[in-house]
Amino acid sequence: MPMIDADGCLLNVSVEGRDGGPTLMLSNSLGCTLQMWEPQMKALTQVFRVIRYDRRGHGKSQVPDGPYSMERFGKDVLAILDDLNIEKTHWCGLSMGGMVGQWLGANAPERMGKIILANTTCYYPDPTNWHNRIKAVSEGGLSAIADTVIAGWLTADFRESAPQAAENLKAMLLATPVKGYLACCEALSTLDQRELLPKIKSPTLVIAGRHDMGTTVAAGEFMRSRIPGASMTILDAAHISNVEQPHAFTDAVVGFLTQR
């Protein structure tokens, strides 16, 4: 996996799939690495040249000092595309990855094909939850919040029926560098991208989880209603819908990206 330099930060990048096919870039949730997309990779790599990466502060990427911002995350993506000599890519981002996708759609439209914004939001009206999380992680590390986070990521039924999947996500979260996690939480605590939405001209699909309490169906509908021509799909899942409903998620992604 190449390490790509983005403004002095080395980013861990993976490129797989169909040579000469259309390019699709996947962007992870907070507290996850590029491994979160494993349920989709077999199907996606048959159709696309798939780029995955670890956001700065996560996985095998470097952990520079903060502050971080959506602009910084977006420019990291552009640095990856430039290094790989890719002019344009489709985008699928989940949660924080969807927030970066909004920034890219509004600020680098010439680099974006179709955009999928999954289990995400454009705005947190009350930063209290993020401030509480920052305090908890600063004092007790990620183990202080891990069980609560996983309970929000996956429904109770899924955690019971697929305990290994839940454990894999928890291990990913616990392995996240605390400094990188906190810097990302700081960026989320001030998130307000409402004014960017009407500027997104790419064909856009919003995916929401019916049981997602963190980025709700209402938050997805708000984005859909303000992005010109956007459509929306609701899955029977909580927050990490690509893991909880892997087949339905993959079908939605492939169907949207390949339709004329």
Confidence tier at 87 by pLDDT (50, 70, 90):
very high
Gyration radius of the chain's alpha carbons: 17
Residues 31-81: tens digit of each pLDDT:
999 999 999 999 999 999 999 999 999 999 999 999 999 999 999 999 999
Tell which CATH architecture fits domain 3-258: 3-Layer(aba) Sandwich (3.40)
Letter string b/e over residues 40-54, b meaning 16 or more CB atoms within 10 A of that residue's CB: bbeebeebbbbbbbb
Q: Which amino acid, 233?
A: T
DSSP per position, 183-226: HHHHHHHT-B-GGGGGG--S-EEEEEETT-SSS-HHHHHHHHHH
Residue 2 has pLDDT above 90, yes or no: no
Residue 88: the pLDDT is 97
Residue 24: the pLDDT is 98
User: Which contiguous run of DSSP H or E holds residue 155?
Assistant: none
Kindly state the average pLDDT of the residues 121-138: 97
Residue 132 has pLDDT above 90, yes or no: yes
Cβ neighbours of residue 77 under 8 Å, at least 6 residues apart? 25, 27, 53, 100, 104
Residue given tokens 């962007």 in the structure block = 27
Residue 215 has pLDDT above 80, yes or no: yes
Name 233's bridge partners. Answer: 207
> Cα 77 to chain center, whole Å?
12
* Spatial distance between the Cα atoms of 40 and 42, rounded to a whole number of angstroms: 6
Residue 92 in contact with residue 25, Cβ under 8 Å? yes
Residue given tokens 């989709």 in the structure block = 40
> Cα 155 to chain center, whole Å?
19
Residue 54: the pLDDT is 98
Give the rounded percent of residues in the chain with a pLDDT score beyond 90: 95
Residue 161's CB: how many other CB atoms inside 10 A? 10
Cβ neighbours of residue 70 under 8 Å, at least 6 residues apart? 99, 100, 102, 103, 187, 191, 193
Residue 100 in contact with residue 93, Cβ under 8 Å? yes
Work out whether the CA dihedral 98, 103, 105, 109 comes out positive or negative.
Answer: negative
Query: Regarding beta strands 49-53 and 9-17, do their DSSP bridges make them parallel or antiparallel, or are they unpaired?
Result: antiparallel
pTM, rounded to two decimals: 0.97
Confidence tier at 19 by pLDDT (50, 70, 90):
confident
Residue given tokens 């989940």 in the structure block = 94
Report which DSSP code applies to 48.
S
* Spatial distance between the Cα atoms of 149 and 181, rounded to a whole number of angstroms: 13
Domain parsing of the chain, residue ranges: 3-258
Residue 134 in contact with residue 185, Cβ under 8 Å? yes
